[in-house]
Structure 1
Amino acid sequence: MVIIGLGNIGSLLNKRLKILKIKTLLCDLFKKCKKNKDKFVSLKTIIDKSNIISLYVTLLNNSKNKTLHLFNKNRINLLKKNTILINTSRGEIINNKYLLKFLKEKKIST
C-alpha cells in the first residue's frame, strides 16, 4: 500500500496499517524524505511499483507547490493495469479527462 501525503489523515492511516502489519511506502510531496523504519521513495517509484495508491494531499496551484493534476497524463500512463487509485483529496488532484480516457481504452482497470 502506498500513502501519498503524510498530514494528519495520511499519518493516521499509516499508523493503523502498521498495527495490521501491512507494509507501506510513503511519499510526502513537501517534506524531505527520511530513511528510517518507514521507507520514503520518489513519486515515480511509487507509481511504477504499486498496486494500491491512496492520496491525501491538499489542492495547491502555485509556483512553489503544485498538486493540481498531480496525476496527469504522464503519471496516469505509468499506472499498472491492476492499480487501485484511491483519491480522498480534491478531485482536481487527478486529471479526470485523462483518467476517463485511460479507463475507456482499458489501459487501467475499473
Structure 2
Amino acid sequence: MPEHKGLHRKTHLLIGTLLSALLCLDGCSGNSQSSDVSDYVSSRDNCDALRGDIPEPTEPDRLNRVISDINKYCKGTDQRLKQLREKYSGNESVMKTLSNYEENIEAGMSF
C-alpha cells in the first residue's frame, strides 16, 4: 500500500511539472502568462499534490519528508495568490488560471 501512495504523489508532481511546461509552451506561442504566474502554478500544484498525500504516522521518515516538501511548496501561497489576483485583475486568461486555486489553504495546515 505505501508504494501506491508514493506512486500517487509522483503522479501529481509529474502533472504539475507537465502543466508548467505547457504554460511555457503557450508562452512561446505568443499567449504568454508571466513567469510569476507559471512559477506559482508549478509550486501550487506541487503543494496541492503533497497535501493530498500525507503518509501515515507509522512511516515517520516519509512523513517528515512530505512535511518538509509541504513547507517548501505551500508556505506563502495564500499571499502570493492574493498578490497575483490583484496584479492581473484585468487579465482574463490569468484570472481563469488562478481561479482554479483555493484560497486560505495555509490556515488549515498545522505543520
TM-score range (shorter-chain normalised) is 0.3 to 0.5
Normalized against structure 2, the TM-score is what?
0.35
Q: Which structure has more helix as a fraction of its residues?
A: 2
Q: Which structure has more strand as a fraction of its residues?
A: 1
Normalized against structure 1, the TM-score is what?
0.35
Q: Larger radius of gyration, structure 1 or 2?
A: 2
